[in-house]
Structure 1
Amino acid sequence: MRQALLIVDVQSTFSPSEKLVDGIRVLAAHLPAIASIELHDEQVTPFQRQLGWHPAQDDAALVEADKVFVKHGYGQTAEALAYLKGLEVERVLVCGLQTETCVLAAGFALFDAGLCPTLVTDLTMGSSLDRSGQLGIALWKHHFGQVTTAAEVLAGLKG
């Protein structure tokens, strides 16, 4: 199966665990991988005005990827979606931070772009509302159905 990995917002701003970063690195070494990072631009997305906080204005992806796309808000950029579509993959594996917000938003964007989003449940972490990510995983299953684990993906690559 042709697949790619989308790494959502694994950057210092959101304090990912070392275990999460290491796990994503292992998977990214075996697949075409792109990453998104969320940077603050109040003129684009009013985080400070509406929520009283904002991501950093400068940050970097903590996992090496073939390409990194900067976004200003929850969703993925048109450029990132076009890049993934250009890879002609059968599914896009999604992992990263803020399972019930930015990761879920990535799922909607991928789905709306005609791609097949699949959440890697053990390589995601929720927001401060639910660090376990279980709320986001439940929402993902409800909306997209497709979930997997890193071990299942790696086993499929060997088989």
Structure 2
Amino acid sequence: MRQVLLIVDVQSTFSPPEWLVDGVRALSERIVTIASVELHDEQVTPFAQQLGWHPAAEDESLVEADKVFVKHGYGQTAETIEYIKQLGVERVLVCGLQTETCVLAAGFALFDAGLMPTLVTDLTVGSSLDRSGRLGIDLWKHHFRQVTTRAEVLAELDA
């Protein structure tokens, strides 16, 4: 199956747990990988004005990727989605931080673009509201149905 891994916001700003970074790295070494990094630009997304906090203005992905896209808010950029579409993949594996916000937003963007977003459930962490990611995983299953685990993906790659 032609697929790509989309890593959502695994960057220092959001203090990802080491197990997540290590797990994403192990998978990214085996598959074409794209990463998004969320940077602050108050002129684009008014985090400070509306929420009283904001991501860093400079940061980088903690996992090496074949291509990295900068975003200024919850959703993926049109450029990111277009790049993925041009790859002609059958499935987009999604992992990363804030399962019920930024990761879920990636799922909606991918789905709306006609792609098949598939959440890697054991490579995602929720926001401070739900660090387990359970809420985001349940929302993902409800909206997109497609979920997998790192072990399942690795077994498919080894087959």
- TM bin, normalised by shorter chain, reads over 0.9
Q: Does 1:73 align with 2:73?
A: yes
In the TM superposition, 1:1-159 aligns within 5 A as 1-159=1-159
Whole-Å separation in 1 of the counterparts to 2:58 and 2:92: 27
For residue 110 of structure 1, report the CA deviation from its aligned partner: 0.3
Query: Identity percentage over the alignment?
Result: 79
Shift of residue 90 of structure 1?
0.3
SS in 2 for 1:142: helix
- Return the alpha-carbon distance in structure 2 between the equivalents of residues 71 and 157 of structure 1: 30
Offset, 1:120: 0.0
Segments of structure 2 that go 5 or more residues without pairing to the other structure are none
Q: Secondary structure at the match of 1:7?
A: strand
Aligned residues: 159
Deviation track 1:71-123 (CA, whole Å, cap 9, x = no partner) reads 00000011111110111000000000000000000000000111000000000
Gap runs ≥5 in structure 1: none
In the TM superposition, what is the alpha-carbon distance from 1:148 to its structure 2 partner?
0.1
Distance of 2:129 and 2:67 partners within structure 1:
30
| Helix, strand or coil at the partner of 1:4 | strand
What letter corresponds to residue 111 of structure 1 in structure 2? F
* 1:2 Cα deviation from its structure 2 partner: 0.5
Q: How far apart are the structure 2 equivalents of 1:62 and 1:130?
A: 22
Following superposition, the deviation at residue 140 of structure 1 comes to 0.2
